[in-house]
Chain A
């Protein structure tokens, strides 16, 4: 009898499991354009599927808060957890918390520092950050060559938040590209952070303009800063046809700026694709299936020639 009850209980448990998969999601922050598209990607996919419930929490850019959320998810018995890490170097504790409870965990968008040591029921879904900055910088280099500036071009580099892996990597990509023989004619005048922000980028660009240094290009780690730089340059009466400006993200605002002839290069990171990819991986892991440790969603270059395919994407 006892055995029968246990079996029945197990069966009920399993059948409820089969009916509704509960996925806990901890986002680094809600008020970020790109992460919002990613979050909506998870949400929309879950809504389209039967029997998938997602509970999305905002870690408000706080590492400690995020770890608490993961422990809360574990305590409430979710089937899998998706984490968009606040800080990629703080993921070891999250991995340990989920592993101890046997709950599958998927990191999304930001590559965890312990990627190589993830247990079997954990994975990373994102894009290879090396691609984005390289695609951007190389396209600007080609544009400058096409404009006949190979005897020397000068550029500014606008960096994202200095504690952020993507900002560090994309800035390094720019340095790597202008270190190549083909792009050696580009020299950087200065590199400063504008913290991903359009407003700070406007002020930084205006400060640079006040030095009166001639320049040919602005590399920005993201589109918001590229747009801020463009707004500042236009306010000072600079013809945007004379300056190459590049960003990353292909946001709606950036695409509109490109259509207006201001922004020259951006890179599409498939936020919704990363979101739905992470949910797929989490559902597979919850069912006990094998999933590759790293699942990469490729970056795509967007220029005025290829913009048509991206207008409705982000």
Chain B
């Protein structure tokens, strides 16, 4: 089956080395999906999907749609940045959605105002002494929630050697329990203006882009990044090469949970409320974004750039469906098909590349 005609090793020509970087394929898929929506839009709606036909924005683009495409995936995208790193180590994190719920409830409780429209805050969790606090307090409290959840995940995985699926499944159930227990299911609302500013307007996008650039560079150019890929490619090899695998895994899960916690802060700020059900199944959307972006579930392969492109594919699909006024029933069906199709294509491409080397 495989084609070895190019020889092995030496100076012979190796076509696999000339393969496009994986991200180009994801970008291609993104462009393809946009083209499909443009065509359907022209045919069904008589309107363009991304280009403005009504001269409303002083530019050739429909800027409002471009903004929402990225805004609606920014918060889950931030979670996906952490999930990507976990998956690259060969692990999985199912707890991020629940960590979002728990962190949102706890952080928001430290961000409440004492008075709403001249009345005492009807959703107050603490007494007046813990209201109208500086914005740093809820942020630090929220990030500590992430550190705790991530450290428990990481230590369970690294030291008890239970599979990441089980450890983070436990955290998924436990953290959702914490979210519900915190205020006995009551929503926590009415934050201070400074807390509301963290996620207002396009701020989620700013955070998403900043964190994506930061972690893309960290994964590509630092020891932390090299160790992450090494553990995912060959854990025993990494251990023999002197990498402290256990410690590094704890670090990766802590970073992933802190990113989920930060996403929770942005989400509750954007919505001006925290609810125990927040972040439900976000972990699955985050994993899907990473996988569509070419991150391999068997570890060792993928990049933040790929995940960002995967997130954009999600955003384009959601906005495209609304643009076409497609019923919600079909939206979910098509979304599922796209997730599976992306992985099938990626596997097929990998096998082909492997057979050529």
**Chain A residues close to B by CB (< 8 Å):** 29-33, 35-36, 39-40, 58, 159, 162, 190, 192-193, 198-199, 202-204, 206-212, 228, 231, 235-236, 251-253, 256, 259-260, 311-312
Contacts and interface: CB of A to CB of B under 8 A. Distances in A.
A207 B54 contact: no
B233 interface: no
B186 A36 contact: yes
Nearest to B268: A199
Contacts of B200: 235
A268 to B, nearest CB: 15
B180 A31 contact: yes
Contacts of B190: 253, 256
A136 B189 CA distance: 24
Contact of B71 (A31, A193, A203, A260): A203
Interface string B327-350: 011000000000000000000000
A207 B328 contact: no
A212 B271 contact: no
Given A203-B72, A210-B62, A198 B271 contact: yes
Interface in B110-159: 116-117, 119, 122-123
B214 interface: no
Contacts of A198: 271, 273
Nearest to B176: A31
B185 interface: yes
9 contacts: A32-B277, A190-B325, A202-B271, A208-B322, A209-B68, A212-B64, A231-B271, A231-B272, A235-B201
Contact of B185 (A32, A159, A193): A32
Given A30-B180, A31-B277, A33-B186, A209 B64 contact: yes
Contacts of A29: 277
Given A30-B276, A33-B187, A207-B318, A252 B122 contact: yes
Contact of A253 (B67, B179, B273): B273
A236 B318 contact: no
B267 A199 contact: yes
B56 interface: yes
A11 to B, nearest CB: 39
Nearest to B279: A199
A31 B64 contact: no
Contacts of B119: 311
B184 interface: yes
A180 to B, nearest CB: 25
A60 to B, nearest CB: 9
Interface residues on B, range: 35 or more
B356 interface: no
A251 B273 CA distance: 12
Given A31-B180, A31-B277, A252-B123, A206 B71 contact: yes
A307 to B, nearest CB: 11
Contacts of B277: 29, 31-32
Contacts of B319: 207, 210
A231 to B, nearest CB: 7
Contacts of B272: 231, 253
B270 interface: yes
B207 interface: no
A256 B117 contact: yes
Nearest to B183: A36
Given A235-B201, A252-B123, A260 B186 contact: no
Contacts of B75: 199
Contacts of B71: 203, 206
Given A203-B72, A210-B319, 10 more contacts: A32-B277, A36-B184, A199-B75, A202-B271, A203-B71, A204-B322, A206-B67, A210-B65, A212-B54, A212-B56
Contacts of A204: 322
Nearest to B75: A199
B275 interface: yes
B117 A207 contact: no
Interface in B231-282: 267, 270-273, 275-278
Nearest to B47: A211
A36 B179 CA distance: 14
Counting from the closest, the 6 A-B pairs by CB-CB distance are A31-B276, A210-B64, A210-B65, A31-B277, A36-B185, A207-B322
B51 interface: no
A193 B328 contact: yes
